[in-house]
Amino acid sequence: MKSYFLFYSYLLLIFFCFSCSQERSLPILGEKKTTTKTINGEQVIDTIYHQIPDFKFVNQDSLWISQEDFKDKIYIVDFFFTSCPTICPIMKTQMLRLHEHFKGNPAIKILSHTIDPYHDTVGVLKDYATRLEVDTKQWNFVTGEKDKIYEIAAKGYFVSAKEDKNEAGGFIHSGAFVLVDKNRRVRGYYDGTKTEKVDLLMQDIELLLKEGITN
């Protein structure tokens, strides 16, 4: 009986060690569809994943920012407004942690969209970025047409962002930080108000850096 117990304890230990050695992989989120294509005369099923659509917004330095500025980059996205009286200050603190952690890494960028373009003009965003003392080559604050901002939030990143006079500050928006890979695919959502979730986001960014996004 003792040898039986030792044998299975040994198997469990091997399984545990093997499991620990396997890197956790991140899912590819959003809608997907399959198509059939022919390769070397054989039909192969190909999966097409949701990608962030093309966009064009203006940043705190009055420069146009588009998907081309994030080509081959891993980036984190959020939606906020500078006069937000509720979750935005907490999100800002957590995003600053991310910025400091990956500061100077050319593979990582941050993109923050205001959802109040009437108030958050280029000048307001410039002042906001200056007060935060962030590297605006790595972290962009963008504004644009309200409908375009809300559209990319809902249809691109699948998060909420809209006016709501019943909410504090007059707007409602997701507190999520959205992780996007080098192929413009959503790989994770993280509560930007919780330290432990942002810690997980940092770990997952490191996973994507190792992954290399070759598929």
| Order of strands, sheet of 108-114, starting from the edge strand that comes earlier in the sequence | 64-66, 56-59, 139-143, 108-114, 74-80, 176-180, 186-191
Contacts of 13 (CB under 8 A, 6+ apart): none
Q: So what's the pLDDT on residue 35? A: 78
Least confident of 40-54, 61-75, 118-132, 165-179: 40-54
Write out the two tokens for 150. 């809300």
Q: What is the mean pLDDT of residues 27-36?
A: 86
Report percent pLDDT > 70 for the chain: 87
**Domain CATH for 58:** 3.40.30.10
3-state secondary structure of 21: helix
> Looking at the domain assignment, is residue 24 inside a domain?
no
Q: What is the mean pLDDT of residues 55-60?
A: 98
> Looking at the domain assignment, is residue 73 inside a domain?
yes
Average pLDDT, the chain: 88
For residue 201, the enclosing domain spans: 52-211
> Looking at the domain assignment, is residue 35 inside a domain?
no
Between 178 and 43, residue with greater pLDDT: 178
> Looking at the domain assignment, is residue 26 inside a domain?
no
DSSP secondary structure letter of residue 55: -
Q: So what's the pLDDT on residue 90? A: 97
| Total number of domains constituting the chain | 1
Q: Please report, for residues 27, 96, 114, the alpha-carbon distance to residue 188 in angstroms, rounded to integers and kept in the order given.
A: 8, 19, 21
